[in-house]
Amino acid sequence: MISGRIKSCCEGHGLDHCGQCAEFPCNMLSQMGKDQGFDPTIKIEQLRKWNQE
């Protein structure tokens, strides 16, 4: 499951969330949910907002 890989990646980099990563938005995050018909842009935009807080 991709969400588990994303969680592991954040933890491995010592980040609270993906928005804090220098590689944001990475390919893994940009593809999250697409195979199930979801638009990952919504999550990406939320992470951008969290990073600005």
- Boundaries of domain holding 40: 2-52
pLDDT at 4: 85
CB 15 within 8 A of CB 21: yes
pLDDT at 1: 65
Per-residue pLDDT of the chain (53 residues; tens, 9 = 90+): 677 888 899 999 999 989 999 999 999 999 988 999 999 999 999 999 998 88
pTM: 0.76
> What is 17-31 written as a DSSP string?
SGGGSTTPSPHHHHH
pLDDT at 53: 84
Q: CA angle 3-30-43, nearest 5°?
A: 70
Number of compact structural domains in the chain: 1
